[in-house]
Structure 1
Amino acid sequence: MPAKNPEAPEALEFLATRLSQPAKMFTAPVPSHEELAAILQIALRVPDHGKLEPWRLIVLEKPDFIRLADLAEARAKELGADAEKTEKARGQFDRGLMAVAVISSPKISDKIPQAEQVLSAGALCMNLVTVATAAGWGANWLSGWPSHDAVFRARAFGCSAEESVAGIVHIATPARAFTDRPRPDPARVVQWGLGG
């Protein structure tokens, strides 16, 4: 039996009550560069399959969001999007204060499947949300349709054809406390064994 971790009850209580808060409700202040660097240092402790590091991070601040909003609107118009879709494209960027774009950047490997490398980028997004929340900030993992558009990704984040946006994790001050939502019932989604 493993040795008991004396901090486990507090850590488990935090994880059991962690909430994602709506980024559109975030306000200033945002983490300083030093505070964000400390969050990133911890968040980067994710499975990366033998130090492949199949991702890269871009810290976004207010001037970046203005540029991204304009790029998203321009791309929406190129695609003939209606007003609602165009506003949705601009929306998360117009309201953004600080975020980290996690770019999935798989490496060529005979040993590590690309799918596992992409999952590593998703694990990094979740770790970033968890660490930022533990540090007292509001955090929300978003993407939005422009992030899944190859032309927008290339213009906005310099993505190659092999890269994708795993997520844009907004980090700032939550405007108010939020109540929890219903969570999955383990009895409904967990299967014990393969049967037979």
Structure 2
Amino acid sequence: MKTIKTLFTVLAVTIVVAASAVEKPKMDVVPLSEDRAVVSILNGEAALFELSIHAADGELVYYKQATKPSNEYQKVFDFTNLENGNYTMDLRVNDTRLSKEFEVASKGIFVGESKMRIDPYFAFSGDVLKLTYLNFDQESMNLNIYDKSGLVYESKLGKEFNIATGFDLSALESGQYEVVLSSLNNDFSFSLEK
């Protein structure tokens, strides 16, 4: 029992440390006219970033990857060639993702609220896999572990906002493993060698 309490105390401290070390980028999308908008990105520290725009069907309509660290970026987008409909603009800075939905319509561009998401934290040491994840959308999360021949372990983690857990992998044979944390909308993977 003491071991379990110690493990969860360590995981709780890890969550606090991870949350305080997270990048906190800001992304503004401001319509300038019926078919143009300015996108501004600000980050406290200079970092590499990725910016993408996806249509509602998942089609990638724009992608930019920074070639050098920067703490700001600004661009005027011309959406004239986009069909009317819903789109999602995604910004990734290190382990932080910021998404903003917007609609392109004949009457203009309509911008929704931003959603910030943080990638999960994985660590493997002493045969213990540690995992923390802030499940903002409270999706049903599953954890699967694969080796070269396929699935070797699966666990349903539930829909809790704060997922913090550890797995004793001492029964697994030595080798390479792929850990996949997944939901209906997200997949995160972590490679480990035992």
Q: TM-score, length-normalised on structure 2? A: 0.24
Q: If you compute each CA radius of gyration, which structure gives the higher value, 1 or 2? A: 2
Q: Which has the higher contact order (CA 8 A, sep 6+)?
A: 1
Greater strand share, structure number: 2
